[in-house]
Amino acid sequence: MVAPTMMAPLPAELIEIVRGQLRRLPELADELARLLGEKEEFYRRLEISAPTEVRKVCEVNLGHAFNAFIEAREVDLDAARKTGRAQARLGIPLSAVLRAFRIAGTFAYEGMLEQAASSRTLTPEQLLPANATVWHIIDSFSDVIADAYTEVATDSARYDEKARLAVIDGLLDGRYTKPDEFDDAARVLRLPPSGPFVVVYGEPTDDRGLSGLVEHSRMRAVWRRMPDGEVGVVAVERTADLRALRQALDAATFPVGVSPAVSGLPLLPAALRRARIARACLAPGETGLIGFGDRPVTTLVAGAPKLAKELAKDVLADLLTLPAAERDVLLRTLHAWFAEHGSARDAAERLFVHPNTVRYRMRRVQELTGRNLTDPRGISELYLAVESVRLEG
């Protein structure tokens, strides 16, 4: 990276003075390093901890500036950019670095003035271009230093975000086991170490996602996008927090499951499993929020879907072998009957048919399944089976 230094070559006498300064470069770098230590606290510390590095930086940047003077060309800014990035990583404030470059520019210019005064070969008018060039170089250095600090800040933010996500993953995956690991995680994520927490799991269909639904709440939370959905760990320190969270998430246009509250970070993996099971209690096409245990039987079905499917096939075996049209009518009727708490009249209103039609279909279900709808055990077996079919879509 380069920047313009001057519009026209400097007087030959001034160029010779700059050549003399270039020959004294190691000595001048030592003087500048000492001057920076006197003027700036941060460079005073560096003078103690890394004196060689400070002198090297001074020598390189002075050398680039002197050579640009002599050759009347653009000044190389790569060294300044590297200096800026290195000092940004050391935590030196940008203002201190910019002052250091101004100090260095003034130091170089005053050195030329001293040499010019001792040689008595230059008039004040001949020194004016040198003054303008010095400050133009300082401005160029300042711009590239500021850019370097911005780059480091951006890199640091990316790193911090990557580290934060790694901490969330470690908690949710159960990789953390020691108390100090949980304390560090709570500090990094700004969460209360002892909770209580709930884990939210959803499958957003837009960029806003879960976090967007609760962005205006005051609850402390962290969010993690995953290939199959989004996970949130939310601190619910008051009952009102959980109520407000559920109210916000119930407006979701996609399925969301929430775990029961757990008392600390070590329990987050179990909470995540329960949030996923809760979400699985919503059939394809259903949206909104459901909590783990809101529908106990459905929660059992969602928590053991393979086993539930086997049992459903056994309970509904003869019904499932019917032609598709008849099978689907009976399954819809059975689902409506359960949804309306066993009321044929209410189920009929839901299905837009006569109550006697519902009663006939339910008798047909009893014949095909061998389950009696007056027997609590038969009813529970049918309900488990029909929920398994419903969740499978």
Most confident of 7-11, 65-69, 163-167, 258-262: 258-262
How many angstroms separate the CA atoms of 33 and 106, rounded? 14
- pLDDT band for position 355 (cuts 50, 70, 90): very high
- pLDDT band for position 353 (cuts 50, 70, 90): very high
- pLDDT band for position 262 (cuts 50, 70, 90): very high
Residue-range domain boundaries for the chain: 2-157, 184-294, 304-392
Could you tell me the fold of the domain covering 184-294? Alpha-Beta Plaits (3.30.70)
- Both tokens of 134, joined, read 């010095």
Q: How would you write 258-298 as a 3-class SS string?
A: ECCCECCHHHHHHHHHHHHHHHHCCCCCCCEEEECCCCHHH
Could you tell me which residue, 351 or 20, shows the higher pLDDT?
A: 351
Per DSSP, the residues of 308-339 read HHHHHHHHTHHHHTS-HHHHHHHHHHHHHHHH
The pLDDT of residue 105 is 83
Nearest one of 116, 104, 108 to 12, comparing CA atoms: 116
Q: What is the pTM of this model?
A: 0.61
- 375: how many CB neighbours lie within 10 A of its CB? 12
The pLDDT of residue 256 is 93
Per DSSP, the residues of 207-224 read SSHHHHHTTTS---EEEE
The pLDDT of residue 155 is 63
Q: Which DSSP letter does residue 175 get?
A: -
Nearest one of 213, 210, 240 to 226, comparing CA atoms: 210
- 314: how many CB neighbours lie within 10 A of its CB? 11
SS3 201: strand
Report the chain's mean pLDDT, rounded to a whole number: 84
Q: Which DSSP letter does residue 9 get?
A: P
The pLDDT of residue 74 is 67
Could you tell me which residue, 129 or 361, shows the higher pLDDT?
A: 361
Contacting residues for 44 by C-beta, under 8 A, at least 6 apart:
37, 38
Percentage of the chain lying above the pLDDT 90 cut: 34
For 2-157, the fitting CATH number among 3.40.50.970, 1.10.490.10, 1.10.10.10, 1.10.357.10 is: 1.10.490.10
How many angstroms separate the CA atoms of 91 and 85, rounded? 10
For 304-392, the fitting CATH number among 1.25.40.80, 1.20.930.40, 2.60.40.10, 1.10.10.2840 is: 1.10.10.2840
The pLDDT of residue 381 is 93
- Both tokens of 234, joined, read 């939310």
- pLDDT band for position 188 (cuts 50, 70, 90): confident
How many angstroms separate the CA atoms of 188 and 167, rounded? 8
- pLDDT band for position 1 (cuts 50, 70, 90): very low
The pLDDT of residue 274 is 95
Average pLDDT over residues 187-205: 87
* Alpha helix segments (H runs only) across the chain: 12-23, 25-39, 41-49, 51-71, 78-89, 94-119, 124-173, 179-189, 209-213, 239-249, 268-280, 296-303, 305-315, 317-320, 324-339, 344-351, 355-369, 376-392
